[in-house]
Each structure stands twice: as structure tokens, then as C-alpha cells.
Structure 1
Amino acid sequence: MSLWRGTSPLILASQSSARKMLLANAGLEFKAMTADIDERAIQAGSKLSNPRDVALLLAREKANAVSAQHSGSYVIGADQTLALGNRLFNKPAGRAQALAQLRDLAGNRHELNSAVAVAHDGKIVFEDVSVARMTMREMSEAELSAYLDAAGDAVTTSVGAYQLEGLGIHLFERIDGDHFTVLGLPLLPLLAFLRREQLVAV
């Protein structure tokens, strides 16, 4: 049974399996659509360097892009950035880049900035950014290679070359932050907003 009470369908402007899982597990009926935007071009054109600001900008852009085509619907946009100090990471292009990223992250603490924005009729009506601090354990070249062999092409589908809900959990010794932030959707503040708008039954 869906807990969604909006008069128009809820839309997730993402095909992320983790984000879809989180909304479905929360009992929300929704449609998932791809936001047709050039994320890297938008980021470069914005001149923003703060990881939090970049994540929020891209979440807004995704929500607005889909909202423009679906009047009346609430559209959820989300984005996540990974920062090691002042350095921003993107999804690795292949195994070699994934290995290079993991070498840099191993033994260090990095931050995941997860942003969510909700658009309604082309206007952003809610936004939030949550942060998780991730401490990756020291790893040998052999361990990194074993991880990459086991994870396969999945390492190119997420920033940082890991999925914490899968084999990526083996890379870490400490995580400070909630599960939803790590998976790329600040679910608790999002649900609080939907309740305030009387869009969910619980």
C-alpha cells in the first residue's frame, strides 16, 4: 500500500537503484525519470567549488528539468559529491581511474555531501544537504586489486568507486552519518517536508 497522498504522481528525477529502493521501502509510490542535463557542464559553468554547493546545484537542476515537463507533480532531484579535503571526485571512467581514486582515499577520511531538492511547477519548494564522514582503512595493492576484481563494472557507477550497500563495505573502518546520506538521498528531512505538506499518510 502506498502512503503517497498527492493528487499527482510523485516523480524521482533519477534512475539510481539505491534512491529508488529507499523511496519504495518508505512506502511511496513514484515514477523514476532521467533528468536530461549535462552535470559536468553545469558544474563547470557555475564556478562553484564547495562540495555542498555543487551537490545542491545539481539536485536543483535535476528537479527543475523534470518538473518543467510535469506540471502539478512534486519532483525529487538528488545529487552526491565526494570530497577529500578540497578535492572533488567524480565517477571513475574505468578500472585504472577507480584504482587511482581508491589509492588516494585509502587510510583517509572523506566526506559525502548528499543533496535533495523538490520542485513543484518549476519552483524549488524544499532542499537539504546532509553530510556523512567516511574513514577508509589502509589497503594494500593486492587488497585493492581483489576488491576491484570482485566489484567489476559496478565501480564506475558511483563516485568513489564503491557502493556501501554492496562490496564497498569492506573498504571502511568507520562511518559517521546516516545510512540514507551514504546512499545518496537525505530521506529523513525529505519525509519531514512531505508530511508538512500533507503529502504522505504517516
Structure 2
Amino acid sequence: MLELAGIQVEALASNVDEDALRDGLRAEGVTARNLADALAEAKAVRMSGRIGQAMVLGADQILALEDGTMLDKPSDPAEAKLHLQKLSGKKHKLFSAAVIAEQGSPVWRHVDIATLTMRSLSDSFIDEYVASEWDNIRYCVGCYEIEGRGVQLFSNIVGSQFTIMGLPMLHLLDYLRIRGLLPS
């Protein structure tokens, strides 16, 4: 997304143990919003501490059902089907967090929220959808790519498409302009 917006980036793995951090924070009762923020910060700070002067962006996204239950990325097609059955006919929220760190400390953060209402899906639709889209959705927390066939799953969406895709892009671009890194 950043490259398509004309931003030069270098993608690097932070090597944060996201599963352990996520599990620990969930055990403490952290909300979905704060979990997304904490994971984004951990990635940005860890990498920023390693590479010195560069501005480092960390991002993460958490999906929460109306009752607060959080879903993770599906481990296999069977779990993807279960997730879609849970989401079918209901609203859920996506919390997309971004944190910028410099020299090992966070200097900017934003968490954006999108609320999505999934239409009621038949089991046969879910089976066909997961079979044909698995390669595209296997790393998607909601089992959909809104920029592709996943848009067919919804009856209503409130929020930015960028947020749904995993990054509060408009807020990030504003910050880069404030810092003088993009023309205004």
C-alpha cells in the first residue's frame, strides 16, 4: 500500500514473537484496540532499536466480534470456514494500528476502526468461497480481502478501505506531511 501511494519503503521482519505477546496481553484482558496498538508498537520499537536513525513503521490489525471475542488468522481452510460462519450475518470491528518509532522509541501512533456487517452466508457459499480464495485469504484475519472477491461478503461497511486492508493510511500520510517528508 505504501509503495502504491508513492512512499519508498524497505520491508523488514521485526522478529517479535507476536503469538506470545498476543496471548500474554489477551490473558491480561487487553481490549482489541489496545492489542493492535501494542503489537504495532512492539514491531516498530524492536526494529527501530536495531537500525538507528531510520523512521520505522510497525502495524497490526485485530478483528473483534460484537461481544469482544477476537479472531486470529485461520490456520487452515476448515478454520476459515468456522470464522466465516461466526461472522455471517453479524457486525465486527477491525482495529488497524500503526506506530512510528525512531531510535527505539515511539514518536507517533494511530488506531483506526472500521465496522463491517457481513451478510448472511450459506454453508455452500462459504465452502466454495474458501476453496477458491484460500491462497488469498490465508493470512487475512477476517478471511477476506476487501479489495477482491471478499467485498461480496458484506452488506454494509463503515470506515476506510485502507483501515480494512490493515493500515490507517490517511492518518499516516498526514503525519509524514507534518514531518515534512511528503509535500503538502
Q: Could you tell me the TM-score, scaled by structure 2's length?
A: 0.95
Determine helix, strand or coil for the equivalent of 2:78: helix
Is 1:106 the counterpart of 2:88 in the alignment? yes
- Alignment match, 2:101: 119
Is 1:72 the counterpart of 2:80 in the alignment? no
Counterpart among 161, 170, 182 of residue 152 in structure 2: 170
Structure 2: distance between partners of 1:88 and 1:172 = 19
The code of the aligned residue for 2:169 comes to L
Structure 2: distance between partners of 1:117 and 1:167 = 29
- Alignment match, 2:31: 50
The code of the aligned residue for 1:190 comes to L
Structure 1: distance between partners of 2:30 and 2:109 = 19
- Alignment match, 1:38: 17
| TM-superposed deviation, 1:78 | 0.4
Structure 1, residues 167-196: CA drift from partner, whole Å, max 9, x if none? Answer: 211111111001111111001111111111
Structure 2: distance between partners of 1:129 and 1:32 = 21
The code of the aligned residue for 2:16 comes to I
The share of aligned pairs that are identical, in percent, is: 36
Computed over aligned residues only, the root mean square deviation of the Cα atoms, in angstroms, reads 1.1
- Residue 77 of structure 2 contacts residue 131 of structure 2 at CA under 8 Å; is this kept in 1? no
5+ residue gaps, structure 1, are: 1-21
More divergent stretch after superposition (163-172 vs 117-126): 163-172
- Alignment match, 2:165: 183
Question: Following superposition of structure 1 onto structure 2, how do residues 91-170 of structure 1 map, counting pairs within 5 Å?
Answer: 91-170=73-152
- Alignment match, 1:24: 3
The code of the aligned residue for 2:124 comes to A
- Residue 72 of structure 1 contacts residue 121 of structure 1 at CA under 8 Å; is this kept in 2? yes
Structure 1, residues 71-120: CA drift from partner, whole Å, max 9, x if none? Answer: 11000100000000210000010011100010010000100000000000
Determine helix, strand or coil for the equivalent of 1:32: coil
- Residue 107 of structure 1 contacts residue 138 of structure 1 at CA under 8 Å; is this kept in 2? yes
Structure 2: distance between partners of 1:29 and 1:122 = 21
Structure 1: distance between partners of 2:86 and 2:24 = 27
Is 1:82 the counterpart of 2:63 in the alignment? yes
Q: Could you tell me the TM-score, scaled by structure 1's length?
A: 0.86
| TM-superposed deviation, 1:201 | 2.6
- Residue 48 of structure 2 contacts residue 56 of structure 2 at CA under 8 Å; is this kept in 1? yes
Structure 2: distance between partners of 1:95 and 1:26 = 32
